[in-house]
Structure 1
Amino acid sequence: MNDRTRNDRTRDQYAFSDPSKLYAEFDPAQQHQSEPGLDAKLTPKPDLGEDTYRGSGRLQGRRALVTGADSGIGAATVIAFAREGADVVMSYLPDEEPDAQSVAAVAQDAGVRVFTIPGDLRDHDYCRELVDRAVDALGGLDLVVNNGGKQVYVENITHLSDEQFDDTFKTNVYAMFWITKAAIPHLPPGSTIINTTSIQAYEPSPILVDYASTKATINTFTKAVAQQLAPKGIRVNAVAPGPVWTVLQVTDGQPPEKLDRFGENTPLGRMGQPAELAPAFVFLASAESSYVVGETLSVTGGKPTP
């Protein structure tokens, strides 16, 4: 690990720095993993905030459910929530157990309770039971992050199978609907729901027809449900990441030959790290954003969104 890497990994989220120069050592080579993939096998390793996120008690006593919590943005969010004082239930695929246990251990070091409930978000019964089990484990629920996602590129729409189209919508959209619907009866006023959308909702790549379509749907779902729940004191918002270095990219989320240029088309000239997304979720979860409802907070490295 060089000095640049040490500086990036030991700074905290409040450090004054040039954002265009951060993570300068990141130079991902062509690599591939089978779905769902593991952070533990990713080269280079993404920054989840293990060494960089410093909490300040903004979510003290909160009870959170996070899907896609084993790696990437979900993992960084779990770590940030824990360091802000929230107890967390983590949802992820059973094959992702090694990553999930690693993240859970980091989060537990913050002195909070962390529960792991693996399963498949495409399964309606699992999504419903996930909420019930989260409520039982945490003694209630007041924070839901619908982050789990599927992204697999297909060059030609005629080669996009019905099965993949269905799997992408079930993972990205149906699970969000099922979990939100099951969670609402348990959420007291002051609760928050945060959905993960994407720059793809605004600038769809031609090879990500199904994925981009789900992310546009998530935006609209968020704004519609936000209006319905705001009078109940429940805020619903979304975060739209730009190109972020996660295991999603090497499990056919992007063509392998494009990985070495991933994120170069942003104004900052680089990909983002999961640790740079977590503060957005903390902001939308905390009382600091009490007047923010139906918003999509873009964290895109400068790529403009409407």
Structure 2
Amino acid sequence: MAITNSDLSGRRVVITGAGRGLGRVLATAFDAAGAHLALVARSEQALTKVASSLSGDPLICAGDVRADGFNETVADQMIERFGGIDVWICNAGVSPEVAAVEQTDPAVWRDIIDVNLTGTFLGARAAAKAMDAGGRIIVTGSVVGIRPRGGLAAYAASKSGSHALVQAMAQELGPRQITVNAVALGWFDTGLGAHWHRDSEREDDIAQHTALGRWGTPEDLPGIYLFLASAASAYVTGSTIAVDGGYSLL
């Protein structure tokens, strides 16, 4: 019997939202695992800074994941540079807007939905077009999409929608042996959650409602992505896996 493993040497991986926070953590982890990377974000300067800290020579693709055709351009460049795409991580996102529904500006609502949901759809769509059998699409979701909080309606809707997108795409792409999964992140002291972590009242409230009694750290982040990108996860698809320290339990 063949034993699957988590070796990522030579895997061709696209990471969106790679200029900061979780994206930077993932770029470092996948680079250390031997993957060939395409780093995607709106800021070329931020991407260049991330790339300079890596041992490999990543492809840098600066642009907006919401723009028509941009994700296909990333796919084309990845194929030209590395000969294909094995993993596409839809990680680009914007921070939650803390406001009651009646105080939420429609423009803010549209921006959050457009980046977090439409941008994810367009990236996953481009990946599906470009991938061969055995491809992996991984979406950064949120525990807020599983257990919404008041004041975060737009963010919760965007992430809940991305979880549903994962389930639909998993069914469509299963016959091609392409897996699609979401990682529902809890509260981390990096990236989009960092400004919440600096609020002592919110910090304590979230820790008290987390089974492990603490916020997540950057070291807690990459393991699930490395697993979902590897051969070890070949029979996992359509799943939303919570990495939240047990926040969704309480």
TM-score where L is the length of structure 1: 0.74
CA-to-aligned-CA distance 1:60-96 (integer Å, 9 cap, x gap):
11111111112222211111111111100011121x7
In structure 2, the partner of 1:82 is: 31
Matches within 5 A, 1:36-185: 58-94=7-43, 97-98=45-46, 100-107=47-54, 109=55, 112-185=56-129
Of the structure 1 ranges 130-139 and 194-203, higher mean CA displacement relative to structure 2 is found in 130-139
Q: Assess if the C-alpha contact under 8 Å between 2:6 and 2:232 holds in 1.
A: no
Query: SS of the counterpart of 2:88?
Result: strand
Structure 2 unaligned residues grouped into runs of 5+: none
Query: SS of the counterpart of 1:153?
Result: coil
Q: Assess if the C-alpha contact under 8 Å between 2:36 and 2:82 holds in 1.
A: yes
Count of residues paired in the alignment: 244
Structure 1 unaligned residues grouped into runs of 5+: 1-55
Greater helix content: 2
CA-to-aligned-CA distance 1:275-294 (integer Å, 9 cap, x gap):
31101000001001111111
TM-score where L is the length of structure 2: 0.89
Query: SS of the counterpart of 1:124?
Result: coil
Q: Assess if the C-alpha contact under 8 Å between 1:57 and 1:85 holds in 2.
A: no
Q: C-alpha distance in 1, partners of 2:201/2:99? A: 13
1:261 equivalenced with 2:223 (yes/no): no
From 116, 130, 134, the equivalent of 1:186 is 130
Q: Assess if the C-alpha contact under 8 Å between 1:262 and 1:270 holds in 2.
A: no
CA apart distance, 1:255 = 8.6
Closer/same/farther in 2, CA of residues 104 and 262 from structure 1, 3 Å limit? farther
Query: SS of the counterpart of 2:53?
Result: helix
CA apart distance, 1:259 = 5.4
CA apart distance, 1:231 = 1.0
Q: C-alpha distance in 1, partners of 2:32/2:220? A: 15
Alignment-mate amino acid for residue 136 of structure 1: E
CA apart distance, 1:263 = 3.9
| Identity in percent | 31
Matches within 5 A, 1:242-281: 242-250=186-194, 256=199, 258=201, 260-261=203-204, 263-264=206-207, 265-281=209-225
Q: C-alpha distance in 2, partners of 1:68/1:244? A: 16
In structure 2, the partner of 1:297 is: 241
CA-to-aligned-CA distance 1:124-167 (integer Å, 9 cap, x gap):
23233222223323221111000111123232212211211111
Closer/same/farther in 2, CA of residues 59 and 124 from structure 1, 3 Å limit? same
In structure 1, the partner of 2:163 is: 219
Query: SS of the counterpart of 2:128?
Result: helix
Closer/same/farther in 2, CA of residues 83 and 57 from structure 1, 3 Å limit? farther
Query: SS of the counterpart of 1:227?
Result: helix
Q: C-alpha distance in 2, partners of 1:169/1:194? A: 18
Q: C-alpha distance in 2, partners of 1:258/1:117? A: 39
Closer/same/farther in 2, CA of residues 135 and 261 from structure 1, 3 Å limit? farther
Query: SS of the counterpart of 1:238?
Result: strand
Q: Assess if the C-alpha contact under 8 Å between 2:6 and 2:231 holds in 1.
A: no
Q: Assess if the C-alpha contact under 8 Å between 1:57 and 1:84 holds in 2.
A: no
For the aligned residue pairs, the C-alpha RMSD in angstroms reads 2.2
